[in-house]
Structure 1
Amino acid sequence: MFTKFFDNHGASPQSPKSDVAKGSLTSADLNPRVTVHYGIPATASVLACDLIQRLVAVGTLDGRIKVIGGENIEALLVSPKQLPIKNLEFLQNQGFLVSVSNENEIQVWDLEQRQIASHIQWESNITAFKVIHGTSYMYLGDEHGMVYVIKYDAEEHKLAHLPYYVPTNVIAEEAGISSPNHPSVVGVLPQPCSQGNRVLIAYENGLLAIWDISEDRVVLVRGNKDLQLKGRTTSDSPEEKKLEVSDCTSDGDEVKEISSLCWASNDGSILAVGYVDGDIMFWNLSTANPKRIQQAEKSPNNVVKLQLSSGEKRLPVIVLHWSANQSCGDHGCKLFVYGGDNVGSEEVLTILSLEWTSGIESLKCVSRMDLTPNGSFADMVLLPTVGVTESGGNLLFMLTNPGQLHVYDDACLAALLSQQEKTTCVSSGQYVMPIPTVDPCMTVSKLALVYRDGEFSKALSKIVSATKLKAPHTPATGSRRWPLTGGFPSLLSETADYQVERVYVAGYQDGSVRIWDATYPALSLIFVLGTEVPGFDVAVASASVSALEICSLTQSVAIGNECGMVRLYKLTVTSDEMSLNIVKETEKEVHTLHQTDGPQCLAVFSLLNSPVCVLQFAKFGTRLAVGFNCGRVAMVDVSTFSVLFITDSLSPSNCPVGLSAMISFTDNDTLVNSPRDSVSTSLNDNEKWLAFVMTKDAYLTVLDGTTGNVVSSLSIPLKAESSAISMYILEGGNIVSTVPSEISETKFEPAHSSPDHGITPVEAKSEISAQVAYFGQRLKSLLILLCFEDALHLCSMKSVIQVSYLMLFLFQVQYICKFF
């Protein structure tokens, strides 16, 4: 529509990429970024929807945008600046989303590429923003009363400021405004049925104007001078909440500030306007003579006032949305209102059913319904149900904090109205996260690798591909289907030779554990491990999960909880009969279990009455180290379900165990056996292995993995309120522990090179001196990396073991971060 008024401007040439020397490391190579995100951010604040592609976008207060479509269609767009998003709109059916930040930066997002396609920084404060439906043109209103037009060119990937604006002085003259300070624009709405030629402009001081783009002139002006209460009042509201409808005519000098607006008719003849004082006005904007500027006549047919409450102090009307009522033809509608009630009243979204017979002067309220949000109300949008359900109508999406999205259809709202209750409809649909974090509450999780050529991967792949195990998702949406279908789907496991390579494991407050296939971004649920063991009453099994560990070689999962219990599951069972081993510190019970479909619990360990902090498999899954909150460590033989040893507290202050790592030494030069080696090799009695355990207060202890004897200990002084985060064993550029990363190839200059950093050694016991000599030759190339909240310590493994340690590097985390 604007192409006949504007010249096309070519896109500016893109700057060539800087040449990077081959083999050099750049910041782009170490650029952490979110590739997969599930759920709605807790700071969600604004909604937008694509009516054709059936997408919903959720803007936040920290610059993130979550785009939700059909099943497994989710994308998280992260702005470089963590600023609140105040405007958010789709370029309908074009695959682009436009956002405006609080610092007035306009960004166009390419949804398929999940990145910013173009952006411009606006100089003035943007106070109104609207995309013209079906086009790439956008109206923009600012604090100075100006209205501009911008356009996004998808081929040129360019967002351009077009040389067109609506002259504020012309509108001010027609409205009889002589003030040199023009009021801010609070709304711009293209008028329906005008082929995009007309736009409604609303100003903060209550002025309304319709501007004709094709003729460059004012078509109609309305304002506060057109208001005067005539005195007709009706009330049709239950529970002593009055709903007043009043006629208004001209000659009013009161300034009524506009806070929201929406069209209240399909042809753009009626406008609903919400005000700061809590009033709602229905304006008749029909123009009989389009060639003549229409001033408001002194007629009761121009405007009608509606009040949700008769209180003196009422809340501003923040949100207004309108939808036609198909059963009532052109004379019925629903109005969705947030605000307008008495100050201090309960937070509700009010849904009004309105009708009029001849004109807006006959407006009456048929029914009122107050919908109590599940949380703090943030925003709402309406999405037509055409093509999704046979009944038609609209879907109401309501966003609440923290991070909840509910959807209501007409049937749900009708049922709620019949109940005449101010409670959330139980049959409403709720956005269900593939990975629940709140219901139930997630307490611990981890991402684990699965060896692609292993038996575990093959077994999981069969389950995923054939979908034989249908584990329940949480929480269910009942019989209602999630109404969003569009978007760009993620890669799915559709190939014939598909194999599971990664799994995501999460533990919950109710004691349950869920396992997903995480090979591709579209995670699919494989197992749900409950707390019940058929035929047995396992006490405190439903306590909150506090630690998890998975071993793909033995196809086992260990689960620790807040009551000190450890459950050991076999995920793929091959024998017809299994046994359940209930192991305590001094006794053991064995019970026979018959095989059932899915995972089976093989053992329950109740060794100490202290929360489990750390679990780690060793020696290819035949050993399990258990760290407790009381500072003690237990070593379990998984093959025999027996306890090898339980240490005393490893920290003088009885601080909880926070980290652990294991390493094995054989009689040959191989430090760690290949995962493809047979299990019999890993069970070699002559194999020596060590367990490195560090408590939260940075007390590092090296244990003999077979006997539990202390090889050496180090106490590392930390700054106040700092604690240990993680620990890794490095060898030749590889992490020997199960962490899938490589970091030692990056060379850093140390911030401190002094050999003495205040680490207090604890003298090793004399009876293990022979073991120290044995290990010494095999520790030359090993390093141990200790990560704290404010520092990193990189130590020589041999020095730690021999207690004549040497600290290689000590530098602050802030120094490391600049490489990322």
Structure 2
Amino acid sequence: TVEHGFPHQPSALGFSDSLRLMAIGTRSGAIKIYGCPGVEFMNLHEQNNAVIKISFVPNQCQLITLLDDNSLHLWSLRQQDGISELQEERKFTLRGPPGAPPSVTQIKVLLAHSSGERLYVGTEGGSVFTLALPSLKVLEEKTVGHEMALRGLPDEYASRRPFESVEALQEHPKNPDQILIGYSRGLMMVWDVTTGCSVQHFLGTQQLENIFWCRGAQQIISCHNDGGYSQWETTGDPIQQSPMENKVPYGPFRCKAICKITWVTSRRGSPYIVFQGGMPMASYGDRHSISVVHGSQQIAFDFTSRIIDHLVICNSDPSADHDDPRALLVLAEEELVAIDLQTPGWPVIQCPYLVSLHCSAITCSYHISSIPLKLWERIISAGRKQNTHYSNMPWPVDGGVNLAEAPRQRDLLLTGHEDGTVRFWDASGICLQLMYKMSTVGVFQTDMDPNENLNSQGEEEWPPLRKVGCFDPYSDDPRLGIQKIYLCKYSGYLSIGGTAGQEQEGYRWKGHEQLHARQDPVRFPAGFQPFALVQCQPPAAVTSLALHSEWRLLAFGTSHGFGVYDFQRKCQVMFISTDIRHCPSLWAGTNGGTVYAFALRVPPTERRMEEAVSASQIKEIQLMHRAPVVGILILDGHSVPLPEPLEAAHDLSKSPDMQGSHQLLVISEEQFKVFTLPKVSSKLKLKLTATEGCRVRKAAVCTFGSCRAEEHVENHLTVLTNLGDIQVVSLPHLKPQVRYDCIRKEDVSGIASCVFTKSGQGFYLISPSEMERFSLSTCWLIAPRCKVDPPEPSANRRSQRGGSTERQNERSRQVTWTDCGFQK
């Protein structure tokens, strides 16, 4: 399996400069690692506790996670048969002395040392503990107690400093033997781990949120809860009473806390100052923002969901003179946003993965396999015209190597959304990428002007806010929601059904009252163009939709009935009485277990515009158990499902056998039943509901191939029940083949959202923002295949400068490595 979309409830972010990998932790205990497109790793903590901190071990294929139960977990990317896997190596919980309060060992911050041999953890009790890596053994003699921080301080300052927690830890950019410790009440201290004593104190008085040690090691930046930040000089006295400069960017009135700040140098002149928060409390207290300042340029990026964390990706060469920031990566609660810091205007970089599927709530989905190249290129072309505002910078998280084979065919996943949009996703490979977005809003009269620019603002506005990201959970009109989608890949016709009984060769909506078509002219962008709008009466939500592009007919149903629309002549198909026997037909099933059969009279192509299509009812079947009809299928003389419209005409399938007797398969919630045609007599049935309470929810015909003989294929019926299990049933004999547990039966929304593909795969929502993809066929396995190689040793690594004697002594104490299963 593979997961598409954005992780549900993210809680932590980590990044490795040496591996160029990004890690995201969630509240459910999931850990996900991403590199270049196609490089993905995922695993779960056993406890399912929230991940609150992630720290990569520098220059190693390892990372450490901290959970909200105060446990530490060491993970490794290990190669097996040329493929890397994410494995948990060990876990550890920091314990305090008997009788000590929990805050003494409650971990708040992590710092993995550049040597890869130590981990520093700061606690609420004000202590910094040192753990050996990879054994996670506490080095007691290296512990820095909070009382050590007060040594040598002026009495008047030390006497008013109560018990403090450690808020931040930073390693000296030039000297790996020194670390900077920041305490909650404003005190900061440079500690020498070799000599075990303090080197310098910075006597801050404002509550501390975070710190940053600049690249040249001559400045320290601290940010505070009053919305300001301070610059401290490290080349001055051992005890500094006040900073060089205090600044409140959006003052002078009360501002939100700046909870994180980054100060990086650039060869283009002024440094880049990136900070989270700091907005004026009165007017912008509800905003989620990150500000970027570079010389005279300043922008506050405004997000629609809470910001979890952010980081600045810089030049990866440690020997360079400048940081040279490339991109700003922001993890928000509902989306991931990357901003190009090298292109003027700082545009957004389009994400190749972690897409926000739920930018507006998903209301339906539809999958199409083997898209013709011509249609594929047209969709790509229309999508590119929509994406001109994105940066051309390559994706900055580019670690690892993707070993997966190129996709064998072009697949589309279409999702309908509550705001009236349909999004087209490239579902051919591991990464689900947005290709094109179509909106139906412009067709209807709503309160919003379709030509309105939501991002427009005055140039002189202060703070200089710019809205970024695509997550927008609010719909202008709930009737705009999309309920059903049908795309003919051969003709390019798209039909969309809505919530308020409207449906279009291109759109639809939902609600209690019908939506009215817009009367004034509306310019539609390149892509699918609406040309017909059908309104059902009463305006109930469309529950089923079928389009036959060869006959130019559209059939649709609601909870109040069904109809047929001729979209070539743009008129309703009349139902008349006739004795036509051998002709096209329409089959419709109801929730009451009734199946209606209609004969359709479709004029020849040359008289199509002059003569109307007509329909007549020829049969009505009432199932004895009266269970709702889930699906209807026609099998030809060889018991093969009929091809899609125009499929045989394009030589993409064999022509159906019209000589032998055809069969009708009716799939209800409780059983499958086969009827012979044209007499419509019962032939055989399979009752699937032997388990109490079992009901069929989804059914589709899938093609299963052989890995040994490519030319051998079989068509089977794939069924999903309300218990979350998937069953494969043979056609036409209705013999159960296999059964798999797939979705939890409590996951009602996941079961309702499931969609099968023709190749035996499936998609379903595992959360509002994520889809899981599974495969029932061994010929169509979709899973990440990638590897990550350890970074090559570099003479310029700062971890190799100094501290060699101390590290040798520490190695001699770590005799437990081999006991823990590691080979040194």
Relative to the length of structure 1, the TM-score reads 0.57
Q: 1:377 aligns with which of 291, 307, 328?
A: 307
2: CA distance, partners of 1:257 / 1:62: 31
- Cα drift, residue 318 of structure 1: 1.3
**Is 1:689–1:705's contact at 8 Å kept on the other side of the alignment?**
yes
Q: Does 1:689 align with 2:664?
A: yes
2: CA distance, partners of 1:94 / 1:208: 29
CA RMSD of aligned residues (A): 6.0
Per the alignment, residue 61 of structure 1 pairs with: 27
Alpha carbons of structure 1 residues 380 and 51: separation in structure 2 relative to 1, 3 Å? same
Secondary structure of the structure 2 residue equivalent to 1:321: strand
2: CA distance, partners of 1:167 / 1:391: 31
**Is 1:444–1:547's contact at 8 Å kept on the other side of the alignment?**
yes
- What CA deviation, in whole Å up to 9, does each residue of 1:386-440 have, x standing for no partner? 799x99444222233311313131444xx4xxxxxxxxx6x32242548773568
Secondary structure of the structure 2 residue equivalent to 1:282: strand
Q: 1:173 aligns with which of 133, 141, 151?
A: 151
Secondary structure of the structure 2 residue equivalent to 1:371: strand
- Cα drift, residue 383 of structure 1: 0.9
Alpha carbons of structure 1 residues 326 and 522: separation in structure 2 relative to 1, 3 Å? closer
- Cα drift, residue 659 of structure 1: 2.4
**Is 2:288–2:303's contact at 8 Å kept on the other side of the alignment?**
yes
Alpha carbons of structure 1 residues 716 and 197: separation in structure 2 relative to 1, 3 Å? closer
Q: Does 1:139 align with 2:120?
A: yes
Q: Does 1:304 align with 2:285?
A: no
- Cα drift, residue 220 of structure 1: 1.9
Alpha carbons of structure 1 residues 567 and 467: separation in structure 2 relative to 1, 3 Å? closer
Alignment of 1:247-286 (within 5 A): 256-263=206-213, 265-286=214-235
- Cα drift, residue 381 of structure 1: 0.9
1: CA distance, partners of 2:351 / 2:434: 17
Aligned residues: 590
Alpha carbons of structure 1 residues 790 and 638: separation in structure 2 relative to 1, 3 Å? farther
- What CA deviation, in whole Å up to 9, does each residue of 1:735-783 have, x standing for no partner? 941459997999xxxxxxxxxxxxxxxxxxxxxxxxxxxxxx9779899
- What CA deviation, in whole Å up to 9, does each residue of 1:553-587 have, x standing for no partner? x999996633576979xxxxxxxxxxxxx9999xx
1: CA distance, partners of 2:554 / 2:26: 45
Q: 1:213 aligns with which of 173, 182, 193?
A: 193
Q: Does 1:324 align with 2:260?
A: no
**Is 2:600–2:616's contact at 8 Å kept on the other side of the alignment?**
no
Amino acid at match of 2:223: G
1: CA distance, partners of 2:311 / 2:744: 45
Per the alignment, residue 480 of structure 1 pairs with: 392
Amino acid at match of 1:204: S
Q: 2:56 aligns with which of 66, 90, 96?
A: 90
Alpha carbons of structure 1 residues 209 and 479: separation in structure 2 relative to 1, 3 Å? closer
- What CA deviation, in whole Å up to 9, does each residue of 1:342-362 have, x standing for no partner? 35525264647589xxxxxxx
Alpha carbons of structure 1 residues 94 and 270: separation in structure 2 relative to 1, 3 Å? same
**Is 1:623–1:637's contact at 8 Å kept on the other side of the alignment?**
yes
2: CA distance, partners of 1:437 / 1:56: 20
Alignment of 1:718-797 (within 5 A): 725-726=697-698, 736-739=716-719
Secondary structure of the structure 2 residue equivalent to 1:86: strand
2: CA distance, partners of 1:79 / 1:60: 10
Per the alignment, residue 348 of structure 2 pairs with: 428
1: CA distance, partners of 2:334 / 2:636: 50
Amino acid at match of 2:558: S
Q: 2:90 aligns with which of 113, 119, 127?
A: 119
Secondary structure of the structure 2 residue equivalent to 1:38: strand
Alpha carbons of structure 1 residues 508 and 276: separation in structure 2 relative to 1, 3 Å? same
Per the alignment, residue 231 of structure 1 pairs with: none
Structure with bigger RCO (C-alpha 8 Å, 6+ apart): 2
Q: Does 1:445 align with 2:381?
A: no
Secondary structure of the structure 1 residue equivalent to 2:3: coil
Alignment of 1:401-412 (within 5 A): 401-412=333-344
Structure with max Cα Rg: 1
**Is 1:662–1:691's contact at 8 Å kept on the other side of the alignment?**
yes
**Is 1:269–1:285's contact at 8 Å kept on the other side of the alignment?**
yes
Alpha carbons of structure 1 residues 678 and 145: separation in structure 2 relative to 1, 3 Å? closer
Alignment of 1:585-604 (within 5 A): 601-604=549-552
Per the alignment, residue 535 of structure 1 pairs with: none
2: CA distance, partners of 1:744 / 1:702: 19
**Is 1:198–1:212's contact at 8 Å kept on the other side of the alignment?**
yes
Relative to the length of structure 2, the TM-score reads 0.56
**Is 1:350–1:368's contact at 8 Å kept on the other side of the alignment?**
no
Secondary structure of the structure 2 residue equivalent to 1:135: coil
2: CA distance, partners of 1:499 / 1:350: 42
Alignment of 1:176-575 (within 5 A): 177=158, 182-194=163-175, 196-224=176-204, 256-263=206-213, 265-286=214-235, 294-296=238-240, 302-310=243-251, 313-328=254-269, 334-339=273-278, 341-343=280-282, 345-346=284-285, 347=287, 349=289, 351=291, 353=293, 369-385=299-315, 392-412=324-344, 415=345, 427-433=347-353, 437-438=357-358, 443-445=363-365, 473=383, 476=387, 478-494=390-406, 499-500=408-409, 503=411, 505-509=413-417, 514=424, 516=426, 518=428, 520-522=429-431, 546-547=483-484, 561-562=497-498, 563=501
2: CA distance, partners of 1:139 / 1:340: 32
- Cα drift, residue 140 of structure 1: 0.8
Secondary structure of the structure 2 residue equivalent to 1:737: strand
Gaps of 5+ in 2: 78-82, 95-104, 441-478, 507-531, 536-546, 563-583, 603-612, 703-713, 749-824
**Is 2:383–2:436's contact at 8 Å kept on the other side of the alignment?**
no
Alpha carbons of structure 1 residues 267 and 512: separation in structure 2 relative to 1, 3 Å? closer
2: CA distance, partners of 1:380 / 1:740: 41
**Is 1:77–1:114's contact at 8 Å kept on the other side of the alignment?**
no
Alpha carbons of structure 1 residues 483 and 515: separation in structure 2 relative to 1, 3 Å? closer
Secondary structure of the structure 1 residue equivalent to 2:152: helix
**Is 1:271–1:283's contact at 8 Å kept on the other side of the alignment?**
yes
Alpha carbons of structure 1 residues 75 and 38: separation in structure 2 relative to 1, 3 Å? farther
Q: 1:109 aligns with which of 75, 80, 87?
A: 75
- Cα drift, residue 205 of structure 1: 2.8
Alpha carbons of structure 1 residues 199 and 689: separation in structure 2 relative to 1, 3 Å? same
Alignment of 1:600-639 (within 5 A): 601-608=549-556, 610=558
**Is 1:564–1:608's contact at 8 Å kept on the other side of the alignment?**
no
Gaps of 5+ in 1: 1-34, 228-255, 289-293, 356-365, 416-424, 451-456, 532-541, 569-581, 586-598, 615-621, 747-776, 793-820
Amino acid at match of 1:725: R
Percent identity at matched positions?
14
2: CA distance, partners of 1:348 / 1:744: 43
- Cα drift, residue 127 of structure 1: 0.9
- Cα drift, residue 212 of structure 1: 0.6
- What CA deviation, in whole Å up to 9, does each residue of 1:217-247 have, x standing for no partner? 12122335xx5xxxxxxxxxxxxxxxxxxxx
